[in-house]
């Protein structure tokens, strides 16, 4: 049984169609990439899956349960964690306290929440920053705090929204290694949307491509990036024509 099933999901904002009958499945412990040009509907789909937006039509099944009508805090309790491109940490809390927010999803005990949060910071290699304020951390460390907060909620699936944004090549390589550890050592499935294609290619078992709210491709990363429709969605028809003219010359 798949861990996540998205069945013919559409999301409309008035006359704007953000997602149109999108369907896919994510298997247990799989790493699945979701890519597409700006405005393709990736973040909207994430928000529908996580319960931030109600879907217009379709169904979403998570771990055998219909979560279509559930809110974000309800899906989180079922084991679905979602990160954001810009981490909305509280400016009044230290790093450890921010991560404890995720822990409190599973326990009402401050002592247990602290132990869980400290363990997540250790796992992600940022225990030394536990007493720091978020605003004082570099972007790469803030990304790890966001992951630690999600990890502290003990998820079965993590929805990772642009976790590579703002990072340099070395930082992305470190993040890829870290996500592989989360997947292999914690047994957590990952669904990531990302503009850093090198990161998607390095992590994903399969890739799904959205364009104008529709799914236009799905398959292994190496095959998907060669799909003419995917290339057209990213680079335009003029690129396809120019490449064909070069081949014919």
Task: Give per-10-residue mean pLDDT for the chain (249 aa).
Answer: 96 95 96 92 95 97 97 96 71 86 93 96 93 87 92 96 89 93 96 87 93 94 86 64 54
Residues 97 and 219 reside in one and the same domain: no
- Give how far the C-alpha of residue 132 lies from the chain's centroid of Cα atoms, to the nearest Å: 26
Residue 84 within a domain: no
- Shared-domain flag, residues 148 and 166: no
> pTM for the full model?
0.89
Closest CA to 29 of 164, 190, 173: 190
19 and 103 housed in the same domain = no
Q: Are residues 95 and 121 in the same domain?
A: yes
Query: Same structural domain for residues 178 and 224?
Result: yes
pLDDT in tens, 21-71: 999 999 998 999 999 988 899 999 999 999 999 999 999 999 999 999 999
- Which structural domain, as residue segments, surrounds residue 231? 4-79+155-248
d(CA 205, CA 224): 12
Rounded CA separation 16/189 (Å): 31
pLDDT of residue 239: 44
> Residue 139: what pLDDT?
86
Tokens of 197: 């294609």
Domain tally for the chain?
2
Q: Is residue 244 part of a domain?
A: yes
Q: Are residues 11 and 58 in the same domain?
A: yes
């Amino acid at each position: 049984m798949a861990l996540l099933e998205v069945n013919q999901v559409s999301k409309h904002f008035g006359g704007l169609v953000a997602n149109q009958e999108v369907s896919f499945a994510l298997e247990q412990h799989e790493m699945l990439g979701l890519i597409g040009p700006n405005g393709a509907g990736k973040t909207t789909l994430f928000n529908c899956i996580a319960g931030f937006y109600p879907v217009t039509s379709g169904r979403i099944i998570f771990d055998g349960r219909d979560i279509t009508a559930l809110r974000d805090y309800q899906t989180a309790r079922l084991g679905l964690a979602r990160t954001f491109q810009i981490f909305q940490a509280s400016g009044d809390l230290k790093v450890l306290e921010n991560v404890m927010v995720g822990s409190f999803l599973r326990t009402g005990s401050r002592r247990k929440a602290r132990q869980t949060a400290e363990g997540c910071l250790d796992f992600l290699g940022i225990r030394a920053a536990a007493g720091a304020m978020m605003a004082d951390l570099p972007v790469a460390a803030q990304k790890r705090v966001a992951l630690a907060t999600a990890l502290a909620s003990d998820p079965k699936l993590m929805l990772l929204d642009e976790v590579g944004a703002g990072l340099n090549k070395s930082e992305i390589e470190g993040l890829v290694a870290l996500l592989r550890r989360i997947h292999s050592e914690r047994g957590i499935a990952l669904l990531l949307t990302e503009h850093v294609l090198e990161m998607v290619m390095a992590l994903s078992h399969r890739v799904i491509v959205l364009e104008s709210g529709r799914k236009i491709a799905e398959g292994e990363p190496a095959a998907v990036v060669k799909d003419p429709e995917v290339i057209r969605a990213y680079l335009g028809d003029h690129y396809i024509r120019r490449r064909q003219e070069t081949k014919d010359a």
